Structure 1
Amino acid sequence: MNFLDFTNHEEAKLALILNVIDPLCGGVIFIGERGCGKSTLMRLFAEVLPPDIPWVELPLNATQESLLGGVDFEVSLREGRKIYRKGILARAEGGFLYMDNLNLLPPEILSVVFSTVSASPPPFVPLATMYPEEGELSPHFLERFGMGIFMEGLKVANLRAEIVRKRTICTSSVGLTGLQRLIEQAKGRLSTVTFPSPMEEYIVDLAQEYNMASHRTDLFLFYAARAYAAFLGTKEVQKGHIDKMAPLVFALRSSSSVIIKAKEEIGDKPCGVTAYLEDERQGNAYEISLDRWCEGKGGKELDNWFGDTTRAAVGDSPEEVFEAEGLYELWPFFLGRDGKARPFSGRRGKSRGLMAPGRYVKGVLTGDKDVAVDATIRAAAPYQKRRGRKDRLLICPEDLRYKERERKTGNLFIFVIDASGSMGVHRKMAATKGVLEAMLKDCYRRRDRVAMVVFKKDKAEVVLPPTKVTPLAIKKLQEIPTGGKTPLAAGLWETYKLITREAHKRAKRKSVVVLLTDGKANQAMGEGYVFEELEKICELLIELTETEFMVVDTDPEGQGAAKLAFRLKGRYCPLSSFPMMKNSTSPG
């Protein structure tokens, strides 16, 4: 299958082609769910590029040294002269830098990439994909792309069958040759395309009408409309070209739904590229915005994936749903510093190790290519006279020191919530939800993943698997009802299973279990005694590595939660230790 065989997503194909015609278009990012073809289309696009245009992929484990390049110390020592190695950014110069799963890259790496792109002219064109459920991305980085395309899987049966058919049949590259010829012709026409003054004013008016704050919006729309006119073979930019490009440029920058009527007013000359990029939706309204993904389609899809678990166990027994009560002041969860290299970026605990990126702390004897020049020179300095130094520093392999770095890392917070009937007494669940909401917001600010386990009646269930989508977690929290007995052992058992599953996927991530309960367990999992089950499960939990526990006691008058914190060797916090903000009022 080649680029032209890719089914649908014509705007995505067009956006990529325009960035070949004019690199000033600013690049493209595809945002969508898993399996909708984002990465496939990007890599098929690489086959369209001429051989002289570089295509470089940025790996998720890239370091600042691999990005920028520098002296290859190991080779230089062997050769006796300075040997430089090119960085990833240098190899992409004059071409395209593709970043798959952009939101999984550390912010330090993205800062280097986009500070390089901001040069004039940009040395390369950034291309990227992201799946929002995997993690957040700063709007500062998102706004650096010229165009944004929101992609979703095809729901029509015949189109899905067409995808299967195309993937199983070998196709030739005859069509690509014709497309490459059209692109080269458009690049040749680009400098001759004129941009009338009324059209420049129309761009400014359109940007102001839709509250586009950044001046990049006007510039990206200017370049995109000009490239589109060159692709179609017209000599000057027309209003229809701007209308066609505006949704693609505005998509990443709209704070509310942006609806633009895309009308083609190209004139009598027919579109000469319909054999390659047929736009079946010409003249229809396009609604493209980040809000559409986060609050509309994306939210509903995720809700279906996780299932309506909060209502599944309601049955015929009466239950009550409490709203979160007030706004609470929350002291941060400081986890301290450890000496393990953790590959997960975040803004909470500090971790030391030989990983990069991170702040250089000191030189150590063992490492892998990340040479600490200052420490190496200090190690070699005392032996220069013995080695017969004359003009240049003599360094031996035993002098090499490597950088130990420190970085902030993210964690997995598992909130285990008691939703039994006793939590409804004195509106304890309302206060608990208020504290929990404050904790979730803190996790969002510090880039942690969160999960939720709820136990009530006779069972426990994971109502939210580990995610970084905090609005989804808050939505799930608001829907949790209270009622029934307290199967505390079942809640801890589900937590144990969740931690062990995550350990297989992300072995080096630290987990923090926050248990919110009054400790009044009265429902066993099996035929045995409740507290015998609790003792056994607590023993299993404290044997887990990379796991910390905190018990929030919703009923300080009792002793169950305090005893549980002791068994888990965790921290004990009464719910009253989280004071409400002064301007916050509790309902009713």
Structure 2
Amino acid sequence: MQAVCLLAVDPQALGGLCLRGPAGPARDAVLASLRRALPERTPWRRLPLQVDDERLLGGLDLGLSLAAGRPVAQAGLLAEADGGVLLLPMAERVDAGLAAKLASALEHGVSRFCVVALDEGQTAEEQLPGSLLERLALIASPAVLDLAAGLTGLGEGQDLPFDLTEARQRLARIPYDDATVQALCGTAAALGLQSLRAPWQAWRAACAAAAVAGRDEVTQADAELAARLVLAPRARALPQAQMEAESAPEPESSAPAEAAEPNQPEPTSAEAPSSGPSDAEHQAEELQEQMIAATQAAIPAGLLASLAGAPASRGAGAGRRGAAARPAQSGRPLASRRGSLRAGSRLDLLATMRAAIPWQRLRLLECEQQGLAPAAARLLLRRDDFHIKRYRRPTETTTVFVVDASGSQALNRLAEAKGAVELLLADCYVRRDRVALIAFRGDGAEVLLPPTRSLVRARRSLSGLPGGGGTPLAAGIEAAWLLGSSLQSRDGARAVLIFLTDARANIARDGSPGRPQAMQDALTAAQRLRSEGMASVLIDTSPRPQPAAMALAQAMAARYVPLPQGQAAQVYAAVAAAI
């Protein structure tokens, strides 16, 4: 609710608010409170994820232009939200292109608006793009509202706890405080923030907090509140580590300074150097320490740990998800649907005419009532008549078989695994998918068959698969991860990893023998594979289900299929369900 008050006072300078958390009564209460806090008739627009450039930025209204016989311009959502709020639902799914346009409009656009992004992402891959998040000063979670205690925000008809008009006027008179700004910059540096935008946004939030509280200057409480709302959610490092490094004593020299120059006269009182920092510097250091402590207490639990263990985010809309979000312009034709003429879309002229012809008599009457006299042969079109051609994008799936060819596996059921792989190879050939084969044994893994559609080559590679030696499970998982990542880097590509192993690793990643280290390396490689989000299946081919195989499947987020007495057909049925 404090973030709502600050955004209502200074929406354009703060840029907006990122609400993190699932949908529910708490989030609805925050949005309703913000809407009641703003002045009446403040624009409030909802931005769909699949908005086109004409609807977002404005352009030519083709339907009205055809009806009127002259160019008719339409205003975009950004122009409609001028002076108000642009609501962005499912912000974690925004692609990089739309995020860049919003970020540019917030920084250099003619329209003055703020963005309220509803981020429901739960993983590092599902989050608001950094280009847009950096320009939203406030980050909060509505889940902290205690609905049972009645903290549901502003009720219907309830007034703000302050005068909004007076607060905005007071905001313009708040003077610049160098000590507070230096403390905010130091706090941002202690939290690992390199951008100068964050401390500046914190200063603007502190000024808004002072204006809300009715003060004519920023106090320590205002700065701490701004640090909690702006700096703490963006933390990239624990401030305590930097503070300990700065406060660590310097190593003493081998000889005292007095012993190095014994004949040097002592300085007089007038020439004596200052014994410490000035009062202003000391006050700024104390303010920074208190601000760091308050900010550190507001860092969400587990945030830094998740950042340390999470891979570098490729940004929403990158990779396959961004490619799939764009409409396909080629492939298998589908039935046309109503839509707008966005960039790259193709108009289905016949379907558009079929939709427009039944309404021509009514539209002619409307034109006559409006004083328009269209030609008799003219076909009057509306935006709802437009039908867009659709295509199904071909999705190329590559099934990567990672086969354990070690001695323990060969002793168990390597022959059955080969039979199951042959059945899956035939199925992939029918669907025109590609297959690849990786075998690990001895002290490493080898790609026996690169991705191919040749069934003959796949069977030849499989029939010549030898068995015996150690079990370098970590090497096999890493080889599958590298091959799968290279396959999914292309648009529209998908990789499915099929592991056939008993998970009895005994060769570490560096080639040294030993079960504990080998299993630890395998779990580490499995967690790295999980971060890529590739579909995978682990088939435990040991005579009895092993806890190690189940733990390995959980580490890589794979489907675990124990088949202690399975035949080739059962293995095929289990794997075919995941492809």
> Which TM bucket (shorter chain)?
0.5 to 0.7
Alignment of 1:207 onto 2:196: no
Match of 2:205 in 1: 224
Match of 1:18 in 2: 6
Aligned-pair distance for 1:123? Answer: 1.4
Aligned-pair distance for 1:429? Answer: 2.4
CA 1:114–1:162 in 2, change beyond 3 Å: closer, same or farther? same
Aligned-pair distance for 1:16? Answer: 2.0
Match of 1:323 in 2: none
Match of 1:531 in 2: 568
* CA shift digits 1:247-277 (9 cap, x unpaired): 322245432245799xxxxxxxxxxxxxxxx
Count of aligned residue pairs for this structure pair: 395
TM-score normalised by structure 2 residue count: 0.53
Contact 2:540 2:560 in 1 (8 A): no
Match of 1:146 in 2: 137
* CA shift digits 1:117-139 (9 cap, x unpaired): 11267610011121233624432
Counterpart residue type for residue 131 of structure 2: H
Alignment of 1:183 onto 2:164: yes
CA 1:85–1:112 in 2, change beyond 3 Å: closer, same or farther? same
**1:23-34 mapped onto 2 (5 Å cutoff):** 23=11, 24-32=13-21
Aligned-pair distance for 1:147? Answer: 1.8
CA 1:537–1:32 in 2, change beyond 3 Å: closer, same or farther? closer
Q: Give the Cα separation in 2 of the matches to 1:285 and 1:228.
A: 16
Task: Indicate the SS of the match to 2:173.
Answer: coil
Contact 1:69 1:86 in 2 (8 A): yes
Match of 1:116 in 2: 105
Contact 1:345 1:410 in 2 (8 A): no
Q: Give the Cα separation in 2 of the matches to 1:93 and 1:257.
A: 39
Q: Give the Cα separation in 1 of the matches to 2:498 and 2:543.
A: 16
CA 1:49–1:418 in 2, change beyond 3 Å: closer, same or farther? farther
Aligned-pair distance for 1:452? Answer: 8.1
Task: Indicate the SS of the match to 1:352.
Answer: coil
Contact 1:418 1:486 in 2 (8 A): no
Task: Indicate the SS of the match to 2:86.
Answer: strand
CA 1:77–1:359 in 2, change beyond 3 Å: closer, same or farther? closer
Q: Give the Cα separation in 1 of the matches to 2:93 and 2:103.
A: 15
Alignment of 1:128 onto 2:117: yes
Q: Give the Cα separation in 2 of the matches to 1:285 and 1:225.
A: 14
CA 1:142–1:449 in 2, change beyond 3 Å: closer, same or farther? farther
Q: Give the Cα separation in 1 of the matches to 2:293 and 2:329.
A: 56
Q: Give the Cα separation in 2 of the matches to 1:241 and 1:87.
A: 37
Match of 1:360 in 2: 344
Match of 1:97 in 2: 86
Q: Give the Cα separation in 2 of the matches to 1:419 and 1:96.
A: 57
Match of 1:434 in 2: 478
Contact 1:349 1:410 in 2 (8 A): no
CA 1:77–1:141 in 2, change beyond 3 Å: closer, same or farther? same
Match of 2:507 in 1: none
Q: Give the Cα separation in 1 of the matches to 2:78 and 2:92.
A: 19
Contact 1:432 1:516 in 2 (8 A): no
Alignment of 1:235 onto 2:216: yes
Counterpart residue type for residue 159 of structure 2: T
Alignment of 1:78 onto 2:62: no
CA RMSD of aligned residues (A): 5.5
Q: Give the Cα separation in 1 of the matches to 2:392 and 2:231.
A: 35
Q: Which has the larger radius of gyration?
A: 2
CA 1:410–1:296 in 2, change beyond 3 Å: closer, same or farther? farther
Contact 1:19 1:27 in 2 (8 A): yes
* CA shift digits 1:79-124 (9 cap, x unpaired): 3333332221111110111112112123222222221111267610
Match of 2:425 in 1: none
Aligned to 1:60, which of 46, 49, 56?
49
Aligned-pair distance for 1:349? Answer: 9.9
Q: Give the Cα separation in 1 of the matches to 2:340 and 2:497.
A: 31
Aligned-pair distance for 1:446? Answer: 7.2
Q: Give the Cα separation in 1 of the matches to 2:61 and 2:224.
A: 50
* CA shift digits 1:7-29 (9 cap, x unpaired): xxxxxx21122111012112111
Q: Give the Cα separation in 2 of the matches to 1:54 and 1:241.
A: 29
Task: Indicate the SS of the match to 1:173.
Answer: coil
Q: Give the Cα separation in 2 of the matches to 1:83 and 1:357.
A: 15
Contact 1:358 1:407 in 2 (8 A): no
Q: Give the Cα separation in 1 of the matches to 2:196 and 2:79.
A: 28
* CA shift digits 1:308-366 (9 cap, x unpaired): xxxxxxxxxxxxxxxxxxxxxxxxxx99xxxxxxxx53389983268889862766536
CA 1:31–1:173 in 2, change beyond 3 Å: closer, same or farther? closer
Task: Indicate the SS of the match to 2:122.
Answer: helix
Aligned-pair distance for 1:233? Answer: 0.7
**Structure 1 gaps, min length 5:** 1-12, 262-281, 301-333, 336-343, 370-391, 459-468, 492-513, 542-546, 550-588
Q: Give the Cα separation in 2 of the matches to 1:226 and 1:198.
A: 14
Deviates more, 1:45-54 or 1:23-32: 45-54
Contact 2:190 2:238 in 1 (8 A): no
Counterpart residue type for residue 360 of structure 1: G
CA 1:160–1:78 in 2, change beyond 3 Å: closer, same or farther? closer
The share of aligned pairs that are identical, in percent, is 18
**Structure 2 gaps, min length 5:** 244-291, 311-318, 331-335, 354-374, 410-439, 442-468, 504-526, 550-557
Q: Give the Cα separation in 1 of the matches to 2:535 and 2:571.
A: 25
CA 1:53–1:236 in 2, change beyond 3 Å: closer, same or farther? same
Counterpart residue type for residue 185 of structure 1: E
Q: Which has the higher helix share?
A: 2
Contact 2:481 2:529 in 1 (8 A): no
